[in-house]
Amino acid sequence: MSAAENTPGTGGGTGTGGGTRGILFGAAYYHEYQPHPRLEQDLDLMAEGGFNVIRVGESVWSTWEPREGEFDLDWLEPVLDAAHRRGIAAIVGTPTYAVPPWLRRTYPETTLDTATGTPMPYGMRQDINYAHPAFRYLAERLIRKIVTRYAGHPAVIGWQVDNEPGLRLIHNHSVFQGFLEYLRERHGDIETLNRRWGLTYWSHRLSEWADLWTPEGNSTPSYDLAWRRYQALLSHEFIAWQAGIVRELVPAGQTVTTCVALGQPGQDISVIGAPLDVVGTNIYYATQDGLALPGPDGLSREGAPFFVPWTGPAYVAYQADLSRGTKQAPFLVTETNATNIGGTADNFPAYRGQRRQIVWQLVARGARMVEYWHWHTLHYGAETYWGGILGHSLTPGRTYRELSEVAGELRDHAGLLGGLTALSEVSLLVGAESRWAMEFAGPLQGAEPNWSGDPASYERIVAAFYRGLYDAGLSVDIVSPGQLTQDAEELARLRPVLVVPALYIADDATLDLLDRYARAGGHLVLTPRTGYADEEAVARAEVMPGALREAAGAHYLEYTNLLHDVPVTHVPITHPSAGAPLSGPPLSGRATGWADGLIPDTATVLAGYDHPHLGEFAAVTTRPHGRGRTTYIGTVPDRELSRTLAEWIAAVSLPADPWRTAHPSTVTHCAARTADGRVLRVLHNWSWEPAGRTAPEAATDLLTGAAVAPGEALRLGPWDVRVLVTDRRPDPTHTPGAS
């Protein structure tokens, strides 16, 4: 990909990136925010510390255009010149997410309405209706001037269009009119919409398009899903529009990306990356004890910044796998923790070693760039206490020293690291539409029961299954429904295990593909709510799991929320329909939150409930289906049950991997294939206590060059990383790729 191929060191300058296939490593840099000039000093520190990339310019429209039509395009040149003299590359951002006061004053009609007729007060950011023609005109005029001015600068390797798109839903009247047109195109006529959305209910039938109510009063799931789809379409179109402008003006080889904050309400991450050369994402996480293993059994937010939904190294891996899944390709980390992140009371700087651990986890999972937000901690503004590499004193400290050490490791092995392909054994199917539907009407109860359930239900269900896979030592490839190949044979070859958690919104074609996938030899893993509603969020009038009932060999006619966890009991496999062999570890743990009243038809029961009522239902079933297998998990598993399920799935459907097993509870392993076919293996110890394991095969320690013999003890200190290279090639059948 272009950014990695343009690592500094190939175009003059001193070269800190280590060649054409290294890892970009740096920070967002805002000299314009510094309390006093220190450009040369900052860039010297970066060069001395091994940083080789900066992001610049994306936040200061009022600097680029202080008054309407008055442009200052020269202020960035000294920054880029200083960077280039030191072999540091630059990604330039288009400054469209934070608009100047003059634009609000002169063009108030471009202001984003947070509800119909309610403009967002000025004073924050992302307060603009980016579909408005006046805003588009002003933005395009500025984008063209900036890109034309700097596309030929030798430091510039790429462009970031906008920043964190989709942060807010846009309720402006013009957007609502566009939504009506979108519905006309999708449904054709008003009677089709009435029928598909079930608007006879509560007398909501429309007699003409003008009757459609605005989103604030809506109670219809189908409406909300359509509204969220349209909002995501607006974000996608906006990013595609900007990318198109930039591409007109830049030379070949300069990368176009954006900075995606995962989980924003107005975006679909599987779509927004389509017009980009590479996706950039922001990966933030809880530090200190928030990275410790084994960690709490439940999904905990203790010690996490206000916007981080759960803690633990699994959450970092989950974000990396989501990022790679946006385009089924390597990705850029445009922002991540330097030190404290979040608000004034979110002060948890990483323990020594944790930042290094995160870098190696991100690189092994597909990151071609790791960029910190930001170089220096700001002295004013809303993010005064969101820490940078340098603190308020601007004096290099522990953060700078630790990151400089990592930069050296990346630089010394640039040729190998720039060509990595993350290896994954299990695929996880995620869908933005199911998340949206459950944000509107969640199946799980929250802290306080309410009509609409917990809006984090989808995240909770997906996280429960992902953590189990992570704890079992399985690497995950995340894929969205629209990214699946329709060739079931190829899908089963590329993705031998496909876990489908809470895919509540699914059209007939997707369900048919899942059925054919299992028949073709894949192991399909189904969970509660999968396939329950159609593409309009209408509950299916079928015995569930509907079109997948034959594949599952089980059905349910009722379900229940669980106010308390219920123990799950392992059922030894004796039924001949299970097929052979089905040896695997026993299941143990607890059911949480939800239970389908699962009744086996032709499936074998793997686990039941230790409960006087739920005991008549199955908790987990499995059956052969064609050349493959379908396993149905009728509950949201706790951490132990999720892990033992993952271990059982691996035992029956994946080749043995000696690196996967026999880990201490604080040690994890992930792997990537090098360009020459070797395997990079990264071991982490997420603990204060030293740990280790035995090397199952010969390897070379990448960082020391030392040979490692089979059976040799691999020692890891507190919060430590070992990076090894082995010659064993993975079976390509079990390496999910772009599909």
Which string of DSSP letters, residue by residue, matches 59-72?
T-HHHH-SBTTB--
Both 231 and 264 in a single domain? yes
Residues 6+ apart with CB under 8 A from 644: 468, 585, 586, 587, 588, 589
Both 20 and 145 in a single domain? yes
Residue 199 lies in a domain: no
331: nearest Cα among 3, 93, 25, 53: 3
pTM (2 d.p.): 0.94
Q: Which tens digits make up the pLDDT trace of 326-369? A: 999 999 999 999 999 988 999 999 999 999 999 999 999 999 99
Residue 203 lies in a domain: no
Nearest-angstrom CA–CA distance, 320 and 283: 7
The ranges of the chain with pLDDT < 50 are 1-20, 575-580, 732-739
Q: Note down the domain range covering 293.
A: 2-169+227-419
Last residue of a domain, which of 627, 653, 679?
653
| Token pair 């995950």 in the structure block, residue | 476
Please say whether the beta carbons of 101 and 53 come within 8 A.
no
Q: Over the range 195-224, which residues count as b (16 or more CB within 10 Å of their CB) and which as e?
A: ebbbbeeeebbeeeeeebeebeeeebbbbb
Both 609 and 565 in a single domain? yes
Both 567 and 552 in a single domain? yes
Nearest-angstrom CA–CA distance, 349 and 353: 11
Both 69 and 118 in a single domain? yes
Last residue of a domain, which of 419, 453, 474?
419
Which CATH number covers residue 699? Answer: 2.60.40.1180
Backbone angles phi, psi at 397, to 5 degrees: -135, -150
Q: What percent of the chain has pLDDT over 70?
A: 94
Both 621 and 557 in a single domain? yes
Both 455 and 515 in a single domain? yes
Residue 658 lies in a domain: no
3-state secondary structure of 39: helix
Sign of CA dihedral 228, 229, 233, 236: positive
Determine the pLDDT at residue 21: 57
Please say whether the beta carbons of 359 and 411 come within 8 A.
no
Residue 182 lies in a domain: no
Determine the pLDDT at residue 421: 97
Both 448 and 368 in a single domain? no
Nearest-angstrom CA–CA distance, 362 and 331: 10
Residue 28 lies in a domain: yes
Nearest-angstrom CA–CA distance, 67 and 100: 9
Both 577 and 636 in a single domain? yes
Both 413 and 452 in a single domain? no
Residue 661 lies in a domain: no
Residue 317 lies in a domain: yes
Structure tokens belonging to residue 566: 């219920």
Which CATH number covers residue 88? Answer: 3.20.20.80
Q: In what order do the strands lie in the sheet with 667-673?
A: 421-422, 667-673, 679-685, 720-726, 699-701, 707-708
* Total domain count, the chain: 3
Both 344 and 436 in a single domain? no
Last residue of a domain, which of 419, 448, 469?
419
Residue 382 lies in a domain: yes
Determine the pLDDT at residue 336: 98
Please say whether the beta carbons of 649 and 631 come within 8 A.
yes
Both 7 and 105 in a single domain? yes
